[in-house]
Structure 1
Amino acid sequence: MARKYAVGLGQERGWSVYVHRDVHQALGRLLTGRSDGDRVSHVELRRRLSGTGLPMRHTAEVLAALDLLHDDRAPAARNWIERRTAELPDGSASDVRGWLLWLLDGDARSRPRSPGTLHSYFGNVRPIVERWAEHRSQLREITREDVTNVIAGLRGSQYTSVLTALRSLFLYGKKYKRVFTNPMRGIRVGRRPPGPVMPMTEDEIAHVQATAQTPAARLAVALAAVHAVRGEAIRTLQMDDLDFQENRVTLDGNVQPMASLTRAALRAWLDERHTRWPRTLNRHVLVSRQTALGTGPVSAHFLRHQLTKHGVSLDRVRADRVLGEALATGADPLHLAAIFDISETTAVRYAVLARQLLQDDALGNEQ
């Protein structure tokens, strides 16, 4: 029964003949000699398949669908908390661990938070805690000045994200008497106005060109640089959105001409995609080793790993494209809003900045 179900699931997910073979072998190893309905524990699955090269995740997926898998692992989120907080300086590790566990479990007046929220909050707080550890031995020693110093250069969504995480951390600290006073008191979490966007420098452009080496990375950069596409739209772009015959691409619901750079980047990536996963049934343009065997989009982490990890900001590339269009077309906000699907407020902000830059350039030429 399990093997029959695996055949159907594999056909649906586009498994290769090798994945089919290995899943069948793993199921035989785990289920042979068991009575009907006797479940396999996750710990046993990992112990018996570890080192064999057989696919644990796909095998577990088949067993779970048939209610033949008993998940007796420690919760993954708790393992992640223990692992990541152990990397922090001694003086703050205990406080941050307690905070993350509080977020995970909730309490009588707070609902539990998702693992994704924990990852986001910890990602914002960790570099700040490590910076504070250079001159503060414990979280309770942090002052309001320490907080204002670390947020001084933040703008836009980064400002909001960091303050939201810090407010949560010190709310926990005050509630459970880990700090004497809350240094966040009186600091508003409301979004700051975004900082001024300036054209990318030659060094920034050179860095992007040097860093975006894989076909997937070059495609993401091309879409951001030519079409000002957001990361979410890049992740969810589907094969049906590409029309090479008519030289068009549908991005975030908007049909646009397929620029030569975009076309070349798409062709290079699709060749790579076909070489690596010729049998995948996933209709998303970007696929990874994990999603090629399924139907969903790549994760946001996939894009971060391709680019942000190496210092390339898609948001920076995208903003440069919008500003470049504003400079080239007379700073018309209606034009920017129409072709880039941005809000009127954002379009006006780019237009005002473009006019200022054009005026400064004109004055410089006169002098």
Structure 2
Amino acid sequence: MGTARKYAIRLGEERSWTVYLHRQVHKALGRLLNGLPDGGRISHTALRQQLAGTNLPMRHTAEILAALDLLDEDRATTAREWIERRTAELPGSFAADVRGWLLWLLDGDARTRPRAMGTLHSYFGSVRPIVERWSEHRIQLREITPQDVTDAVVDLRGSQYTATLASLRSLFRYAKKSRRIFTNPLRGIRVGRRPPGPVMPMSDEEIRHVQTTAQAPAARLAVALAAVHAARGEAIRALLLDDLDFRQDRITIGGNSQPMGSLTRAALRSWLTERRTRWPHTLNRHVLVSRQTTNGTSPVSAYFLKRQLTLHGVSLDRIRADRVFGEALATGADPLHLTAIFDLSETTAVKYATLARQLLNEPTGQEPGRAT
């Protein structure tokens, strides 16, 4: 125990830890190591279980235990359990194909490096709904045709299209390598960002899905920032506490100061209350923080928002586009106005304004869609 604490003090001095972080790390080490017999080790799973819900720093503690050879790395077992559980939910022969693929990603081989669990989660989240649709008219992976792939991604745009196609390419690369398929249906399909398709207002069904899915305070805040201020994901992650001015009812996003509004203000207060409750002593100045960033100064990762929203079918890009398009319809399709309030490029503003003008000029009796 004494050795671990001395190492923690030296590591903290090298990395300029705060007094609070030093104290929390020592507390975590005490919780884990008190009563541990000489020569004993603690598993990574046990570490997570004992520190869960305590706000004690798991990552820093695990790093110290690993450096002192006191940590038993058993996460591979946990990962395999996750793979077995999730692939068992897939239909028919597809389950075995996807299971083999995920295990290959986890372990790697002589020519392929192992992938992190976050990558497995992301890839599986992209592939699962497609596999479930394929199972309605196909029995196994080797029956999938290039047309099936094209149909699966035809409605996707931007980063969602790129991520999904990259996941499918990985799946079929494994299937070809392991001789589960004869020909690769993705051959000739280029993985690249597809230009955004025609922007249309969100349907009532899409809005209901967002409302029912975004329940956590962090998710509701991200949706509010996209829906009210047309904020991009990177701008949401970069938002600082210093960018909030509740007294003047202003918020600065991406360097652009805007009125905060009641919806944003309510979402911010809800999230900031949870933030103070969970991490009352964090020095991180970013509005959004997570267990991984609360003891540092960096923003949350892109996967933080993806886990909260994208993997559940909610696209911030779609919400943001709906907000810009709604503003274009409400203000007479003026590209200069869109550029001023949303900090859009001239090309993007003209694109929205042109489409809005087309819909505004449609004959009465045709429904152009619902503006927000």
Length-normalised TM-score, structure 2: 0.75
The answer on whether the counterparts of 1:16 and 1:279 sit within 8 Å (CA) in structure 2 is no
Contact 2:48 2:58 in 1 (8 A): no
Amino acid at match of 1:131: R
Q: Distance in 2 between the 1:72 and 1:272 partners?
A: 32
Paired residues of 1:88 and 1:130 also in contact (CA < 8 A): yes
Residue aligning to 1:26: 32
Deviation at 1:269, TM superposition (A): 2.9
Shift of the alpha carbon at 1:255? 3.5
Q: Find the aligned partners of 1:61 and 1:91 in 2 and give their Cα distance.
A: 39
Are the equivalent residues in 2 in contact too, given 1:143–1:183 (CA < 8 A)?
Answer: yes
- Structure 2 distance, partners of 1:333, 1:345, is 9
Q: Residues 316 and 61 of structure 1: is their aligned pair in 2 closer, same or farther, counting only changes over 3 Å?
A: same
1:165 aligns with 2:167: yes
1:281 matched to 2:292? The reply is: no
Letter in 2 for 1:132: W
Q: Is the counterpart of residue 41 in structure 1 residue 47 in structure 2?
A: no
Mapping 1:144-293, distance limit 5 Å? 144-201=146-203, 204-205=206-207, 208-209=210-211, 212-288=214-290, 291-292=293-294
State the number of aligned residues. 358
| Greater shift in the superposed pair: 305-314 or 354-363 | 305-314
Counterpart-to-counterpart distance in 2, 1:52 and 1:287: 18
Residue 95 of structure 1 aligns with an amino acid whose one-letter code is D
Identity percentage of aligned residues: 64
Report the counterpart of residue 64 of structure 2 in structure 1: 63
1:106, distance to aligned residue in structure 2 (A): 5.2
In the TM superposition, what is the alpha-carbon distance from 1:322 to its structure 2 partner?
0.9
Name the residue aligned to 1:340. 342
CA gap of 1:29–1:282, structure 2 versus 1, over 3 A, is farther
Match of 1:315 in 2: 317
Query: What's the counterpart of residue 370 of structure 2?
Result: none
Greater shift in the superposed pair: 213-222 or 104-113: 104-113
Deviation readout 1:166-193 (Å, 9 max, x if unpaired): 2332233333322122222343444444
Cα distance in 2 for partners of 1:327, 1:210 equals: 26
Of the structure 1 ranges 308-317 and 117-126, higher mean CA displacement relative to structure 2 is found in 308-317
Q: Distance between the aligned counterparts of 1:84 and 1:13, measured in 2?
A: 42
Aligned to 1:12: 18
Quote the Cα distance in structure 2 between the aligned partners of 1:156 and 1:235. Answer: 19
CA distance in 1, matches of 2:19, 2:255: 26
Higher Rg of the two aligned structures: 1
CA-CA distance at 1:323 after TM superposition: 1.0
Residues in 1 aligned to 2:210 and 2:48: alpha-carbon distance in whole angstroms: 41
Evaluate the alpha carbon distance shift between residue 139 and residue 66 of structure 1 in structure 2; reply closer, same or farther with a 3 A threshold. Answer: closer
Alignment of 1:49-88 (within 5 A): 57=58, 60-61=61-62, 63-64=64-65, 66-73=67-74, 75=76, 79=80, 80-88=82-90
Root mean square deviation of aligned Cα:
4.1
Listed as ranges, the gaps of 5+ residues in structure 2 are: 368-372
Q: C-alpha distance in 2, partners of 1:361/1:200? A: 21
Q: 8 Å contact 1:77–1:115 — kept in the other structure? A: no
8 Å Cα contact 2:239-2:288 kept in structure 1: yes
State the Cα distance separating 1:285 from its structure 2 match: 1.3
Q: What does the per-residue CA deviation read over 1:186-211, in whole Å, with 9 as the maximum and x for residues that have no partner?
A: 43444444232222345654664565
Aligned-pair distance for 1:5?
5.7
1:105 and 1:18 map into 2 onto residues whose CA distance is: 34
Look up the SS of the partner of 2:202 in the other structure: coil
Residue identity opposite 1:75 in structure 2: A
The residue matched to 2:361 in structure 1 has which SS?
Answer: helix
Matched, 1:359 2:361: yes
Which one is further off, 47-56 or 177-186?
47-56
Q: CA deviation at 1:334?
A: 4.5
- What is the deviation of 1:18? 8.3
Q: Distance in 2 between matches of 1:155 and 1:237?
A: 25
Structure 1 pair 77–197 and aligned structure 2 pair: CA distance change class (3 A): farther
Looking at structure 2, the residues matched to 197 and 49 of structure 1 have their Cα atoms a distance apart, in angstroms, of 44
Q: What are the Cα deviations for residues 319-356 of structure 1, in whole angstroms up to 9, with x where unaligned?
A: 11111222234434354345434444433321211111
Letter in 2 for 1:41: R
Distance in 2 between residues matched to 1:160 and 1:129, nearest whole Å: 17
Deviates further, 268-277 or 225-234: 268-277
After superposition, where does 1:95-174 map in structure 2 within 5 Å?
95-104=97-106, 113-174=115-176
What is the distance in 1 between the residues matched to 2:310 and 2:173?
A: 30
- Residue 198 of structure 1 aligns to which amino acid in structure 2? M
Contact 1:41–1:70, Cα closer than 8 Å, also in 2: yes
Q: CA deviation at 1:90?
A: 4.7
* Alpha-carbon distance in structure 2 between the residues aligned to 1:60 and 1:285: 25
Which residue identity does 1:24 align to in structure 2? Answer: G
Structure 1: unaligned runs, 5 residues or longer: none
Match of 1:29, SS state, is coil
DSSP-derived class of the 1:256 partner: strand
Answer whether contact 1:23 1:59 (CA < 8 A) is retained.
Answer: no
